[in-house]
């Protein structure tokens, strides 16, 4: 299979306007990945699937990853005037990296028997911007896996035919695979919550959805 | 209460139009039913006996395996992988060990590689045998074929027990090798089991291949095209039953599989009969691999001494490793941030993804066929729900 740099260059040429970035992978596994911008994802993925030299017809694995907000503190030397004398002192500089959610797709080619080409999509943030295009119209194998990511990470996939919770029950509110998830207060030790435990547990359960529930769930605000 | 089928405006074209004709009966099949192979539910819309719509519902066994994996050390997840597909703990162990080995660049001693192949092929034998038994049981051949299959499975489980200490939850492999070595007497017993297996297979195949009822119940039932199978990410015997030549033992050549001579059986029609026969044929090939492995296995250590499996901290990075499990491609995707726990621990469960096209397989068939189709997919809920 051709190198990732070449794939990136050809994909950018085939889909005008697409920005693709190579994310290196330091591990000995040597599986770097392509970060694709969400506006051109479908076109790029269709190129990867239909291109005669790539033919990535098999989407094996779809994963969600949660990256929390990070703060990195570095010490920077700054010149300031102290008592009329210019001195160089060290000051901590705080840099904030906003968190985001990510989906990772492992694509292989059954026709040409090569792979994987790993592609990643990133959301704008972890709150309101958790929207990504769905790859289910291109790869049916993403259907249940994207539903699982919606369920456990809360990423809304546009263009998914049937975006509902799949492993948790429909009335459940949180997204349990998020790194800042806190389990319900009735978790494990309280089989039938009552009194104040019930009160605390209630915030994790939504009202039963009205009709079929998918629309309500997709529109809820709990992210 | 309505069963709740959801129709969104932008749905892509499906095998069936969503227009409903006449009066449809909505029925919940399962979750408590022996032929749903665990706690698995299907919401079906029936037109008389014919299935017009089918939505699988699962999660009854969900315990957020991946979350637990992220809160445990790398070694701590190893026994927990046994519980995914509890029929095939050996192959689960191997897939996880392989991914960690990729992540940290660990070499595996030769004898351990051979032991892994032997145990994986024994696992394949017992998984496929019990599947055939269950499938016949689903079709109404109550009891006898399943008992025949379980009689053979017991012999293999006995081998697992004497090697690892447990019949089903083996926890046998480690990243960098295997936990204990197999003695000469174990090898002898394993060889004996493998030698006796073709006789059982002959008998069993004779029972199924010429049985008129079985042919009527499986041929042309649950057909699926090769294009859809590839697009829907089907793997394992189900994919090969559609005629797609994709076996990871050949394609990836992980472990030491390139050293063995074996063929990849391929189906033609992609129906239940092909899926069923694919298992029978694969068992013959597994027996061939076993014989070669028994003949070639060298002496030596079974564990890479350089690997510190306790307080194990792989370098930061990520890796996706996959093997050809008995049910399909079993993969583990790990992201390490350099600490003792994986930052992300993801299982690619073959049974879960193989269920994606269950609806496409079942539409237009009767309720009784749904059970046969589900049985031919070969699912284990421990892996589907995780």
Per residue in B58-93, pLDDT (tens digit) is 888 888 899 999 999 999 999 999 999 888 999 999
CATH of domain A4-68+100-179: 3.30.460.80
Asked if B105 lies within 8 A of A28 by C-beta distance, the reply is yes
Task: Note the pLDDT of residue B19.
Answer: 52
- A-chain CB neighbours of B235 within 8 Å are 60
- A-chain CB neighbours of B228 within 8 Å are 140
**Res. A126 pLDDT band, cuts 50 70 90:** confident
- B-chain CB neighbours of A213 within 8 Å are 4, 6
3-state secondary structure of A127: coil
Q: How far does the CA of residue B66 sit from the closest CA of chain A (Å)? A: 8
For chain A, where do the domains classified as CATH 3.30.460.80 start and end? 4-68+100-179
CA angle B371, B377, B379 (to 5 degrees): 90
- The span from the CA of B237 to the CA of B245, in Å, is 10
Task: Note the pLDDT of residue A186.
Answer: 56
ipTM of the complex: 0.85
Task: Note the pLDDT of residue A1.
Answer: 80
- A-chain CB neighbours of B320 within 8 Å are 29, 31, 61, 106, 116, 118
- The span from the CA of A39 to the CA of A24, in Å, is 22
Strands B328-336 and B344-348, sheet pairing: antiparallel
- The span from the CA of B317 to the CA of B2, in Å, is 47
By C-alpha distance, the chain A residue nearest B106 is A28
Give first-to-last CA distance, chain A, whole Å.
39
Do B62 and B386 meet the contact criterion of CB atoms below 8 Å apart?
Answer: yes
Summarised one tens digit per residue, pLDDT across range B213-256 is 888 888 888 889 999 999 999 999 999 999 999 999 999 888 89
**Cα dist from A123 to A98, A141, A162, B359, B370, whole Å:** 11, 21, 20, 31, 39
Half-sphere exposure of A136 (CA within 13 A, CB side): 26
**For chain B, percent of residues with pLDDT exceeding 70:** 94
Summarised one tens digit per residue, pLDDT across range A74-110 is 778 787 777 778 878 787 888 888 888 999 999 999 9
Q: Which sign, positive or negative, has the C-alpha torsion B7, B10, B13, B19? A: positive
Asked if A176 lies within 8 A of B67 by C-beta distance, the reply is yes
pLDDT for residue B300 is more than 50: yes
- Out of A31, A58, A106, name the one closest to residue B230 (CB): A58
CA A41 to chain centre: 14
For B274-301, b/e burial (b = at least 16 CB within 10 A) is bbbbbbbbbbebbbbbbebbbeebeeee
pLDDT for residue B263 is more than 50: yes
Asked if B317 lies within 8 A of A27 by C-beta distance, the reply is yes
Asked if B320 lies within 8 A of A152 by C-beta distance, the reply is no
- The span from the CA of A177 to the CA of A197, in Å, is 23
Mutate which of B3, B5, B12 to test chain A, going by most A C-beta atoms within 10 A?
B12
Interface of B with A in 284-343 (CB under 8 A): 314-322, 329, 331, 333, 335-336, 343
The verdict on B179 touching A (C-beta cutoff 8 Å) is: no
Mutate which of B253, B314, B346 to test chain A, going by most A C-beta atoms within 10 A?
B346
By C-alpha distance, the chain B residue nearest A115 is B252
Mean pLDDT of B324-350: 91
Interface of B with A in 49-108 (CB under 8 A): 58-59, 62, 64, 66-67, 102-105
Task: Note the pLDDT of residue A210.
Answer: 56
Q: How far does the CA of residue A86 sit from the closest CA of chain B (Å)? A: 42
- The span from the CA of A162 to the CA of A151, in Å, is 12
Decide: pTM greater than 0.90. Answer: no
Asked if B62 lies within 8 A of A113 by C-beta distance, the reply is no
CA angle A12, A17, A22 (to 5 degrees): 45
Average pLDDT of every residue of chain B? 87
Task: Note the pLDDT of residue B39.
Answer: 86
**Res. B21 pLDDT band, cuts 50 70 90:** low
Asked if A28 lies within 8 A of B322 by C-beta distance, the reply is no
- A-chain CB neighbours of B386 within 8 Å are 167
Q: How far does the CA of residue A146 sit from the closest CA of chain B (Å)? A: 11
Summarised one tens digit per residue, pLDDT across range A172-194 is 788 888 888 877 665 555 556 67
């Amino acid at each position: 299979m051709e190198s990732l740099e070449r794939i990136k260059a050809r994909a950018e040429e085939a889909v005008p306007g697409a920005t693709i970035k190579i994310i290196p992978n330091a591990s000995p596994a040597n599986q770097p990945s392509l970060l694709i911008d969400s506006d051109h994802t479908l076109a790029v993925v269709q190129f990867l699937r239909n291109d005669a030299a790539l033919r990535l017809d098999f989407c094996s694995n779809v994963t969600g990853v949660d990256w929390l907000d990070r703060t990195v503190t570095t010490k920077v030397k700054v010149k300031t005037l102290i008592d009329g004398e210019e001195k160089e002192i060290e000051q901590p500089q705080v840099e904030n990296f906003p968190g985001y959610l990510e989906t990772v797709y492992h694509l292989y080619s059954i026709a040409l028997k090569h792979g994987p080409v790993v592609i990643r999509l990133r959301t704008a943030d972890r709150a309101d911007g958790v929207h990504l295009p769905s790859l289910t119209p291109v790869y049916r194998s993403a259907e249940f896996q994207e539903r699982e990511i919606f369920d456990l990470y809360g990423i809304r996939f546009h263009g998914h035919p049937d975006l509902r919770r799949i492993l948790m029950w429909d009335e459940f509110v949180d997204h349990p695979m998020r790194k800042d998830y806190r389990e319900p207060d009735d978790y494990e030790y309280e089989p039938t919550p009552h009194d104040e435990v019930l009160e605390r547990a209630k915030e994790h359960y939504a009202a039963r959805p009205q009709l079929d529930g998918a629309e309500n769930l997709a529109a809820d605000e709990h992210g | 209460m309505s069963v709740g089928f959801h129709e969104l405006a932008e749905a892509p074209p499906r095998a069936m139009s969503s227009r409903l004709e006449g009066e449809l009966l909505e029925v919940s099949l399962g979750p408590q039913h022996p032929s749903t192979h665990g706690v698995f539910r299907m919401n079906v819309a029936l037109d008389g006996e014919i299935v017009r719509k089918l939505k699988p519902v699962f999660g009854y066994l969900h315990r957020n395996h991946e979350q637990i994996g992220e809160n445990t050390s790398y070694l701590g997840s190893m026994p927990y992988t046994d519980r995914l597909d509890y029929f095939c703990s050996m192959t689960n162990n191997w897939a996880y060990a392989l991914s960690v080995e990729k992540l940290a660049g660990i070499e595996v001693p030769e004898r351990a590689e051979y032991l892994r192949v032997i145990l994986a092929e024994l696992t394949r034998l017992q998984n496929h045998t019990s599947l055939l038994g269950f499938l016949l049981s689903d079709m109404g051949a109550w009891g006898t074929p399943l008992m025949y299959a379980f009689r053979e499975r017991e012999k293999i489980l006995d081998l697992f027990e004497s090697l690892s200490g447990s019949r089903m939850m083996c926890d046998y492999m480690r990243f960098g090798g295997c936990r204990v070595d197999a003695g000469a007497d174990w090898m002898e017993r394993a060889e004996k089991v493998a030698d006796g297996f073709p006789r059982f297979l002959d008998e069993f195949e004779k029972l199924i291949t010429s049985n008129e009822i079985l042919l009527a119940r499986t041929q042309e039932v649950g057909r699926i095209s090769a294009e859809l199978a590839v697009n829907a990410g089907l793997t394992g015997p189900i994919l090969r039953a559609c005629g797609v030549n994709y076996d990871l033992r050949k394609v990836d050549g992980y472990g030491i599989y390139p050293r063995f001579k074996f063929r990849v059986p391929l189906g033609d029609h992609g129906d239940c009969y092909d899926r069923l026969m694919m298992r029978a044929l694969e068992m013959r090939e597994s027996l061939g691999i076993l014989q070669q492995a028994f003949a070639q296995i060298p002496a030596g250590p079974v564990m890479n001494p350089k690997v510190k499996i306790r307080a194990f901290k792989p370098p930061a990075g990520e890796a996706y490793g996959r093997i050809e499990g008995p049910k399909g491609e079993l993969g583990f995707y790990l992201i390490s941030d350099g600490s003792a726990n994986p930052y992300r621990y993801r299982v690619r469960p073959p049974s879960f993804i193989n269920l994606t096209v269950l609806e496409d397989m079942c539409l237009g068939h009767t309720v009784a066929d749904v059970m046969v189709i589900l049985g031919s997919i070969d699912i284990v809920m421990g892996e589907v729900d995780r």
